[in-house]
Amino acid sequence: MRNRYLDLLRLLAIVRVVVYHVTGLATLTLIFPAMSIMFALAGSLMAASLDRSGVPAVGRRLRRLLPSLWVVAVIFVPAMLLTGLTFTPQVVIWLFPIADPPANYWGGLALSPIWYLRDYLWFVLASPVALWLFRRAPLPTLAAPYLLLVAIEVGILPTTSAVLRDFGLYFGAWLLGFAHHDGMLRRLADRVLVPVAVLLAGAGGAWVLTHPGPRGYDLNDIPLGNALWSAAFILVVIGRGPAAAAWVDRNRIFGRLVTVANRRALTIYLWHMPFVVALTPLVGLVGWSPRDPWGLAIRVVLVFLLVGVVTLLVGWVEDVAARRRPELIPGRPRPRPATASPGVPAPRTPEVDTAEIRTR
């Protein structure tokens, strides 16, 4: 059974990402470090998949991840080739982005969230070995990404590799997802978890305050502060989160919204930035300043509306990738079984292959 609390966290993370990209408010990154939360949730799901299916889970995860990207590529790569992008063999990276795929100027802005898929692919590929190591030496394995990031930040390990840097920045969150799946965070006593979370938040906050980036205290510009602050956030919000949240579905509309956001998370993430980029020039045309509150609110609403339209058009690709029955709007309530009339035996429930359920 799905933990609706985790589904709610994913909804909040997606909303926060979209609002941040429209408004640019650095405070949002501190209030809710969305990307680390998304990687932690993905790490927990990946550990569950590996326990269920073993190494073949890697292929299944990639199968669910890539088709939505290919839809984006089919539309945007030809458009970029027609507007200045040079065709080279590197264009095929759009099929499997283990590195940043080539893009022209406007494509680089509109498709900038591709880095998330790049990191996600690497983390999925590394997960079988990482989970094996984590279960044999949890603390050293968990510490490794943070030590890597420290080495990069202080210059001990100079690197220009975005993938290596992001392993230090986000793979720790992915491993904390492993810890969540294995129940380690829940078993951790408050007398241990709380001081560790406070220590991490204090160290991360101090680093942020003493190393502001070009946009001030925006965690996206301060990798080490981001990693430490996010780790503290994950320990508290996920490590001490409830095992269930039935109240999410008490309101049918809100419950459906949470379901839609989770079933269409990748579509929303990939498509929101092109609309952010497309709507930004309209600010000047209508006379709003870039920080006009009314203009920002309208842009947020417009981006969500446009993303909603695209989600209706192509979101079903996520259903196909997951081998679910395609739905225009997922989460339709299942019909309740008919009540048998007195004296009439109830219809037999067909046997279900539980192995099939575990692979979906």
Convert the pLDDT of each residue in 24-81 to its tens digit.
Answer: 999 999 999 999 999 999 999 999 999 999 999 999 999 999 999 999 999 999 999 9
Residue 200: its pLDDT value, please? 97
Residue 344 has pLDDT above 50, yes or no: no
Could you tell me if 44 and 181 are in contact, meaning their C-beta atoms sit under 8 angstroms apart?
yes
Residue 241 has pLDDT above 80, yes or no: yes
Percent of the chain scoring above 90 in pLDDT:
82
Cα-based angle 107, 217, 25 (whole degrees, multiple of 5): 55
Q: What is the pLDDT of residues 255-267, one digit of tens each?
A: 999 999 999 999 9
Residue 335: its pLDDT value, please? 61
Could you tell me if 162 and 100 are in contact, meaning their C-beta atoms sit under 8 angstroms apart?
yes
Residue 183: its pLDDT value, please? 95
Q: At residue 92, what are phi and psi to the nearest 5 degrees? A: -65, -15
Q: What is the pLDDT of residues 298-318, one digit of tens each?
A: 889 999 999 999 999 999 999
Q: Which two tokens stand for residue 209?
A: 């305050």
Residue 336: its pLDDT value, please? 57
Q: What is the signed CA dihedral for 100, 10, 124, 120, rounded to 10 degrees? A: 10
Nearest to 44 by CA among 184, 174, 167: 174
Tell me how far apart the alpha carbons of residues 153 and 170 are, in angstroms, rounded to a whole number. 14
Cα-based angle 313, 300, 105 (whole degrees, multiple of 5): 75
Position with higher pLDDT, 86 vs 243: 86
Q: What is the pLDDT of residues 135-174, one digit of tens each?
A: 999 999 999 999 999 999 999 998 889 999 999 999 999 9
Residue 348 has pLDDT above 90, yes or no: no
Could you tell me if 157 and 147 are in contact, meaning their C-beta atoms sit under 8 angstroms apart?
no
Residue 352: its pLDDT value, please? 35
Residue 291: its pLDDT value, please? 73
Position with higher pLDDT, 99 vs 288: 99
Residue 296: its pLDDT value, please? 85
pTM of the model: 0.90
User: What's the mean per-residue pLDDT of the chain?
Assistant: 90
